Amino acid sequence: MNEATLPQPGYLAQGKRYLTFRQAAQEYPAFSVVALRWLRVNGATTGFDRCVISIGHKVVLDTLAFEEWLDQQRASRKEAA
């Protein structure tokens, strides 16, 4: 196998913290681009708005904040049960 055909490490493995929704959907396959956009639109209700940074028309996901948000969702589900 030559170097051109080797699989590339994911964005997170490359040390990327801020990802577009398309990149994030590749790194977190449980979340499609459409699902991430829905979370963004409803961010004030879901708390997801703290995971998103908007600069002009560019929107990126802060992966550290996103993983913290996921952990909080899991914890709140356990408390509710």
Domain definitions of the chain by residue range:
15-80
pTM: 0.79
Per the rule left: phi > 0, alpha: psi between -120 and 50, beta: everything else, 62 is beta
* CA nearest to 11, candidates 3, 25, 56, 55: 25
pLDDT in 10s for each residue of the chain, 81 residues:
455 554 556 888 788 899 999 999 999 999 999 999 999 999 999 999 999 999 999 999 999 999 999 999 988 877 776
Q: What pLDDT sits at residue 23?
A: 93
Residue type at 37? R
Pairing of strands 52-55, 58-62: antiparallel
